[in-house]
Amino acid sequence: MSKKITYYSILTILIIGLFGAGGLVFEEFKTGEGCPKIMHIPICLVVLICFIIPLIAHLLNKWNVLYFLFTGVAGSIALIASIMQFTGNAECPKTASGTPMCYYSLLLFSSLIILKIILIKTYKTNQK
């Protein structure tokens, strides 16, 4: 996979995630019913921040540690939420088609982590 394709794939996924999480945050502030909360903190707001920080790190091509920290935190949240949704112990917000958004979030953050690893390895290979 070329460096350019990988770079823009990451950018596209981050933008998709921003819109998805941003919509939930907007709904949360509008109605108070947009997403689950932990200690009165909307999880969708945490996830939105976990898209914003990696986006900035990716665009600046710096701070890979922050990129992986925030995508890892959000990926962990999505994994736990997906397991809880699957076992019936929690209820994730759903898309119009009824698919729990935590499943999509897990897919997006897993993809972001994998693609960034590929991008870094591609960059290091081209430096040799």
Spatial separation of the C-alpha atoms in residues 24 and 16, rounded to whole Å: 13
Note the pLDDT tens digit of each residue in 91-105. Answer: 888 888 988 888 999
Domain that holds residue 106: 3-127
Note the pLDDT tens digit of each residue in 48-98. Answer: 999 999 999 999 988 899 999 999 999 999 999 999 999 988 888 888 898
The number of distinct structural domains making up the chain is 1
Helix, strand, or coil here: 39? coil
Q: pTM for the complete prediction? A: 0.86
Tokens of 119: 């991008």
Spatial separation of the C-alpha atoms in residues 53 and 63, rounded to whole Å: 10
Spatial separation of the C-alpha atoms in residues 33 and 28, rounded to whole Å: 5
